[in-house]
Amino acid sequence: MRIEEMNWMDVEEYLQHDDRLMLVVGACEQHGYLSLLSDVKIPLALADAASKQTGVIVAPPMNFGSSPYFLTYPGTLSLKLSTLMDAMEDILRSAYGQGFKRFLVLNGHGGNSGLKIRLTELANQCSSLQVQWYAWWMAHSVEEVAIRHDLKPSHANWLEAFPFNIVADLPVGEKIPPHVPSDVIDAQRTREVYGDGSFGGRYRAPQETMAEIFDAALQDVLQLLKFQ
Amino acid sequence: MRIEEMNWMDVEEYLQHDDRLMLVVGACEQHGYLSLLSDVKIPLALADAASKQTGVIVAPPMNFGSSPYFLTYPGTLSLKLSTLMDAMEDILRSAYGQGFKRFLVLNGHGGNSGLKIRLTELANQCSSLQVQWYAWWMAHSVEEVAIRHDLKPSHANWLEAFPFNIVADLPVGEKIPPHVPSDVIDAQRTREVYGDGSFGGRYRAPQETMAEIFDAALQDVLQLLKFQ
Amino acid sequence: MRIEEMNWMDVEEYLQHDDRLMLVVGACEQHGYLSLLSDVKIPLALADAASKQTGVIVAPPMNFGSSPYFLTYPGTLSLKLSTLMDAMEDILRSAYGQGFKRFLVLNGHGGNSGLKIRLTELANQCSSLQVQWYAWWMAHSVEEVAIRHDLKPSHANWLEAFPFNIVADLPVGEKIPPHVPSDVIDAQRTREVYGDGSFGGRYRAPQETMAEIFDAALQDVLQLLKFQ
Amino acid sequence: MRIEEMNWMDVEEYLQHDDRLMLVVGACEQHGYLSLLSDVKIPLALADAASKQTGVIVAPPMNFGSSPYFLTYPGTLSLKLSTLMDAMEDILRSAYGQGFKRFLVLNGHGGNSGLKIRLTELANQCSSLQVQWYAWWMAHSVEEVAIRHDLKPSHANWLEAFPFNIVADLPVGEKIPPHVPSDVIDAQRTREVYGDGSFGGRYRAPQETMAEIFDAALQDVLQLLKFQ
Amino acid sequence: MRIEEMNWMDVEEYLQHDDRLMLVVGACEQHGYLSLLSDVKIPLALADAASKQTGVIVAPPMNFGSSPYFLTYPGTLSLKLSTLMDAMEDILRSAYGQGFKRFLVLNGHGGNSGLKIRLTELANQCSSLQVQWYAWWMAHSVEEVAIRHDLKPSHANWLEAFPFNIVADLPVGEKIPPHVPSDVIDAQRTREVYGDGSFGGRYRAPQETMAEIFDAALQDVLQLLKFQ
Amino acid sequence: MRIEEMNWMDVEEYLQHDDRLMLVVGACEQHGYLSLLSDVKIPLALADAASKQTGVIVAPPMNFGSSPYFLTYPGTLSLKLSTLMDAMEDILRSAYGQGFKRFLVLNGHGGNSGLKIRLTELANQCSSLQVQWYAWWMAHSVEEVAIRHDLKPSHANWLEAFPFNIVADLPVGEKIPPHVPSDVIDAQRTREVYGDGSFGGRYRAPQETMAEIFDAALQDVLQLLKFQ
């Protein structure tokens, strides 16, 4: 259940028997032909599905992440990493103060990884705080599905083309991954390099494959929610 | 249309003929018997309705605001005001850099008012930037509807009991507004003062009244979107 | 008594029998024909008068507030809101650490309202801390006097034309309030809109009216100093 | 003339023929038997005197400085150095944007020296900005007067016992300067070391000597206001 | 050549014909039996070697990185990630202002990866700025050497046991990698999990293997210094 | 012994019998004909020498300080003072959390003096924390040696021309100290004023004098390490 479907009395009751919370953080950034909010929608869908099975509640998503390299693609709305870290700290501390102790952060965007450092700093300060971090696209389980289907996972290619992210016709065929000159490139050059925004590979995969990917990630989430 | 239903090419095309963007900011905080996300859902509903009539696009909502006084109510997830200001600045600058010049900020939460100062600072720095700010519950148009129906608008009472915010049965009758000892009270005392979280008055109003309220606010939004 | 008329031994003695402190915060900003420091002088005069009757001491005023919209009017010296919040936090924490527990913040400037959020955050962190906030020009008591005399209170009009703020001849007659295009306007446009800086209405009121206004506010301050 | 005696039109007129501004920054901190605001009152008195002779205007004083070591002495209200730097930057940038180009910062407190670094950072960023810094108690001219009268200048001793700082009877005689264990001592230990707060030496000097001191510093200020 | 072996005239001369600079950033953190400064020493050794072949100069190393998880291991001196980002920004801006345009950041520590986001933000702001980022232990070239020798690279195992990092006898044999409960663990739990601090695998490798590793990384660095 | 020659077990063992740590902070800035890292090398050399006699360990140096005035001299890499304060706080807190209680900060650069304020703030917060601060070039002991040899100590003159700082031939003779127009000058003007970067006086002194200087400072350091 999402917090937005609850009032505070519901949450108070929940805290009588559980202290887990799912936090979703993603990005509002270019995803080629896919939804600009793909990086939020995927982890949120995972959170919803996991919530249905476990009853663990889901906080409203942080709809913005750190994507300075994509700022030349209209619709990309990026936070400084320091802002994002402050925001997630404020949110986590709010919930921690109310009795939440175990947090699963479902991250949908690579540029947010620095958040783990801040979360560790928090874990050092807040006794009994436990944090799990899940970046679905980096999971072994997801990689295995991709390998089995001979597909290369990458930003804004088939890997993220879940039905709920499709907002336009996707190109047929495959894009040759461009040469990337550096790990740190400014937004101007990034657009020159990536053109339509996909990092290359096939633009879509059969729905069954997507379902397999989703299910693989969901199993991970369910496992992580055990906090073992 | 919401940005999440678009890809970056759609936004680029939009910017060929328009430079307006609606930003929604609210709070995840106690609203008595109503949804913890009431302060986001209302301005977002207004934005959606205004978008349908004007085609102006809507950014993903900032789901968190500044509510330190409600932190004792479980489910309240509050940002420091400084964090919120930083986040909204980052978002606005991202869009401004892409060609958006006129922003309508639809605010759903009183604790966020300090944001106006930061927005003014930004307006001083960014040439051609125009910002409108709309706090629906403080609008004259909304007040008029309330007066006409002899209803007192207040936090978490009938005023916010739109259908989409109702997540539980609402009490019948009316709550006597509690005595508030100060303009600045800590979260512990706030809970003692407000009990169920409503600031008093009737808990609900007829759906027709709610529709009138919504429509009054919508007309304001439509007017503000003209940026005159 | 003001802290500047005391040495630390005097304050230590005071803390033996009292734990209240008045903090004055205002702005150094354009006030039309009136003193640039009007927003400090008014709450400071109130604090002095209340101190005389109660013995509660008065901290040196914070002479600067958040006024980004007036920066095109020479003499306006504005702090970022985040700077102002940090400064007031530092000051309050200093005094709290010495045994002050009850603070009355006398605010003279609308742009500082965001401070209340920071003060609430502090109240959440500091046990036994009590904060009262008084914005004299928004008080019901002051409004009543204005209504009784059929005067509209507004920025830099008669409302602030206390004798101690008059530094030049005031225009006779009345200014028609200009049309204000938005709640958030940059300093350039603000000056175009407001011209001489007054928000409209009569430029001055009889001294007896001003004395009534002052006394109404003073009674509020005296009441708030009871911290009930 | 102080800005508080002016309205914005006066300042605008001033800027037609001058671009100098005096900024006063001090501290609200223990000064033994002297006023807690000694560090503001001295440079402000110098600024007033220099203004009378030169017509250069004086901004409202920043009444707070960085004095963490004195926080155990009641009445000491200290800003973090980072807060103070931010505040002074905001103030200077406000004035600079209006046409002030030459600033004389009259500092009354040793703990504020880090400000010079921030002012240099600003000077690197703002073309044509000129900043002079004056710490009266460190001036050669003042030292000379002290030597001539065989007096040792120090914190809260005769050196600061100007008539306007005297708020209580001053002890007769001389205090032996205590042994100071370190350049960095916490507020608890500081109080143990310094007791009444004076750093030692005579508690007062004849009024003629004080007048000589004041005049020596004033001549420096007048010289610096030439910005040569 | 390191900047410390130069004076400013040397650097000015260098800028006549080159605009490249190597920045070394690492960590001061536990490395099992190895030097606490291993994460600095390795990229610095690479920088020195590359400098010898290319003449590109090397800035003094930033000796501290973000390692909150290791704070229970004495000698770990960790910066907040936000502090580290600020520091590296200040350093890069200093050099950029003097004419350096192409920077190779040699990073020795995984916890610093968030820096890439800040560097991208800078690249967006500074025209002609080019940044390369090299994390030697994640390089394909290094991985290949490890695979060829059937060694698993990991924190504080053989991979970092370069001669210059050896400060004690290294255990013979191999450590079984411990079960790691989460991607985000506090320092207390981290120490329970990792014991001696190594993440597992062999503690050392033959010197010839280490030389191969070093040379593989060096070739990468030389290639990156071409900024192609 | 330097921390870089130790592993964490060594430091843990050290903490069984000692709780002192030397922190070295300097600057990477122009020093005329001398090494750009002179301000680090001198206090580090002192720390090494004192460590040899006392066994007190030495943290890796912070190689960067606050030198905004020298940014026009290539090779000067300056931190904002606020960044430097944050970095040193993070480092000190890391060590304090591990059991270090007595810190000797060996500072090599005048622009870093604001650090003392932050260190005092820390001392107020961390019980049992003791901090000593040593700025060798301001020591009476050093001044005495200079006077005895009739030499004027100044930035980048003989005073810092220790053998380990000499990276080029030093001019013969003496430089006349330039007229300095202000305590706060921007980097452009600073270079015009200082030319080669030395503040004037002789460029070098006999090695025996330098040894005397070093020894005088070393005796101070040894004394301070007693924390009496």
Report pLDDT for A3: 98
The two beta strands, C174-175 and C130-135, are: unpaired
- Within 8 A of A65 by CB-CB distance, chain B residues are none
CA distance C192 to chain D (A): 15
**Per-residue pLDDT tens for F82-102?**
999 999 999 999 999 999 999
Chain-chain contact of A185 with E117 (C-beta, under 8 angstroms): no
Q: How many CB atoms lie within 10 A of CB F93?
A: 18
User: Per-residue pLDDT tens for A151-181?
Assistant: 999 999 999 999 999 999 999 999 999 999 8
CB contact under 8 Å between C86 and D80, yes or no, is yes
pLDDT band for position E228 (cuts 50, 70, 90): confident
Name the neighbours of C, counting chains with at least 3 Cβ pairs within 8 A.
B, D
Average pLDDT of chain A is: 97
Q: Report A:75-134 residues touching B (Cβ under 8 A).
A: 75-80, 82-83, 86-87, 90-91, 94-95, 97-99
With CA atoms as reference, the chain B residue closest to C111 would be B117
pLDDT computed for residue D9 by the predictor: 98
Q: What is the mean pLDDT of residues B100-123?
A: 98
Euclidean distance between CA atoms E106 and E47, whole angstroms: 8
B residues 20-59 closer than 8 Å to C (CB): none
As a whole number of Å, the end-to-end CA separation of chain B is 22
Q: What are the strands, taking DSSP E only, across chain B?
A: 20-25, 57-58, 102-107, 130-135, 174-175, 201-202
The whole-number pLDDT of residue C10 equals 98
% of residues, chain B, pLDDT over 90: 98
All residues of chain C having their beta carbon less than 8 Å from the beta carbon of residue B123 are: 184-186
- Non-local CB neighbours of B208 within 8 Å, separated by 6+ positions: none
- Confidence band of A99 (pLDDT split at 50, 70, 90): very high
- The percentage of residues in chain B with a pLDDT greater than 70, rounded to a whole number, is 100
Which tokens go with A154?
């990458």
Q: Is the pLDDT of residue B101 over 90?
A: yes
User: Which residue type occupies A25?
Assistant: V
Report the SS3 class of residue F105. Answer: strand
Closest CA to F111 of F64, F72, F146: F64
Contact assignment for E167 to F10 by CB distance below 8 Å: yes
Q: Tens of pLDDT along chain D (228 residues)?
A: 999 999 999 999 999 999 999 999 999 999 999 999 999 999 999 999 999 999 999 999 999 999 999 999 999 999 999 999 999 999 999 999 999 999 999 999 999 999 999 999 999 999 999 999 999 999 999 999 999 999 999 999 999 999 999 999 999 999 999 999 888 999 999 999 999 999 999 999 999 999 999 999 999 999 999 998
Give helix then strand counts, H and E, for chain D.
7, 6
pLDDT of residue F214: 98
Q: Look at residue B167 in the predicted model and tell me its pLDDT.
A: 97
Give, in order, the Cα–Cα distances in Å from B14 to each of B44, C211, E113, F50.
20, 58, 35, 68
pLDDT higher than threshold 90 for residue A223: yes
Indicate yes or no: CB of E133 within 8 angstroms of CB of A69.
no
Q: Whole-angstrom Cα distance, residue B162 to residue B165?
A: 5
What percent of chain F has a predicted confidence (pLDDT) above 90? Answer: 98
Q: Are A134 and A128 in contact (CB under 8 A)?
A: no
∠ Cα D98 D103 D107 (to 5°):
130
Q: How far apart are CA B47 and CA B159, in angstroms?
A: 18
Tokens encoding C208: 């007896």
For residue B149, pLDDT beyond 90: yes
User: Which residue of chain F comes nearest to E35, CA vs CA?
Assistant: F7
F112-147 confidence digits (pLDDT tens)? 999 999 999 999 999 999 999 999 999 999 999 999
Closest CA to D79 of C85, A137, B57, C164: C85
Q: Where are the beta strands (DSSP E) in chain E?
A: 20-25, 57-58, 102-107, 130-135, 174-175, 201-202
Q: What is the pTM of this model?
A: 0.97
Quote the minimal CA–CA distance from F60 to chain E in Å.
Answer: 6
Q: Which residues of B touch A167 (CB under 8 A)?
A: 5-7, 10
Residue type, B141: S
pLDDT band for position A226 (cuts 50, 70, 90): very high
Within 8 A by CB and 6+ apart from E184, the residues are A105, A116, A119, A120, A123, A131, A132, A133
Please give the pLDDT value at position A112.
98
pLDDT in tens, C52-105: 999 999 999 999 999 999 999 999 999 999 999 999 999 999 999 999 999 999
Dihedral (CA of C45, C47, C50, C56) sign: negative
Question: What is the interface pTM, i.e. ipTM, of the complex?
Answer: 0.97
In 3D space, the residue among F124, F92, F62, F87 whose CA is nearest the CA of residue D184 turns out to be F124
Convert the pLDDT of each residue in C121-162 to its tens digit: 999 999 999 999 999 999 999 999 999 999 999 999 999 999
Residue A189: phi and psi, rounded to 5, are -65, -35
Cβ within 8 Å of residue D26, ≥6 positions away: D37, D38, D39, D40, D41, D42, D43, D44, D61, D62, D63, D65, D107, D108, D109, D112
Give the residue among B80, A70, D96 at the shortest CA–CA distance from C74.
D96
E15 contacts F74? CB cut-off 8 A: yes
For chain A, what percent of residues have pLDDT higher than 90? Answer: 98
Which pLDDT score is estimated for E76? 98
Q: How confident is the model at residue A29 (pLDDT cuts 50, 70, 90)?
A: very high
- Taking every pair of C-alpha atoms in chain F, what is the biggest distance, in angstroms? 54
Please state the rounded mean pLDDT for residues F25-54.
98
